[in-house]
Amino acid sequence: MIITLKKDIDGQQKQRLMQKIASCGLKAESSVTNGKVVLSLSGNTYAVDTEILRAFSIVESVKRIEDPFKLASKSFNPCGTEVSVNDVKIGKGNFCLIAGPCAIESERQIVDIAEKIKDAGANLLRGGAFKPRTSPYSFQGLGKEGIRLLLKAKAETGMPVVSEITCASQEDLFYDIDVVQIGARNMQNYELIKKVGQMKKPVLLKRGISATVEEWLLSAEYLLTEGATDVILCERGIRTFEPTSRYTLDLSSVPVLKERTHLPVIADPSHASGNARFIEPLSLAAAAVGADGLMIEVHSQPEEALSDGAQAITPEALKLLCQKVKYILDANKKF
Within 91-150, the residues that bind Mn ion by CB under 5 A are 102
Quote the least distance from Cβ 53 to ligand PEP, whole Å: 35
- Residue whose CB is less far from Mn ion, 280 or 308: 308
The answer to whether the beta carbons of residues 268 and 236 sit under 8 Å apart is yes
Is residue 286 a contact residue for Mn ion (CB under 5 A)? Answer: no
- At residue 102, the 3 state secondary structure works out as coil
Q: Which residue from 200, 272, 263 is spatially nearest to 240, judged by alpha carbons?
A: 272
Cα–Cα distance measured from residue 17 to residue 24, given in angstroms and rounded to the nearest whole number:
11
Residue 25 exposed, middle or buried by CB count within 10 Å (0-12, 13-18, 19+): exposed
Quote the least distance from Cβ 103 to Mn ion, whole Å: 7
Cα–Cα distance measured from residue 183 to residue 169, given in angstroms and rounded to the nearest whole number:
16
236 binds, among Mn ion, ligand PEP, none (CB under 5 to 8 A by kind): ligand PEP
- Residue whose CB is less far from ligand PEP, 45 or 307: 307
Which residue's C-beta sits nearest to Mn ion? 102
Is residue 279 a contact residue for Mn ion (CB under 5 A)? Answer: no
- Residue whose CB is less far from ligand PEP, 296 or 325: 296
Cα–Cα distance measured from residue 294 to residue 311, given in angstroms and rounded to the nearest whole number:
14
Which residues contact ligand PEP by CB under 6 A?
102, 128, 132, 164, 183-185, 206, 236, 271
Quote the least distance from Cβ 207 to ligand PEP, whole Å: 8
184 binds, among Mn ion, ligand PEP, none (CB under 5 to 8 A by kind): ligand PEP
Beta bridge partners of 182: 205
What number of other Cβ atoms are within 10 A of residue 301's Cβ?
A: 12
Cα–Cα distance measured from residue 32 to residue 30, given in angstroms and rounded to the nearest whole number:
7
Quote the least distance from Cβ 102 to Mn ion, whole Å: 3
183 binds, among ligand PEP, Mn ion, none (CB under 5 to 8 A by kind): ligand PEP
Q: What is the DSSP letter of 201?
A: S
Is residue 306 a contact residue for Mn ion (CB under 5 A)? Answer: no
Is residue 276 a contact residue for Mn ion (CB under 5 A)? Answer: no
290 φψ region: left (φ > 0), alpha (ψ -120 to 50), beta (else): left
- Residue whose CB is less far from ligand PEP, 68 or 101: 101
Q: Tell me which residues touch Mn ion (CB under 5 A).
A: 102, 308
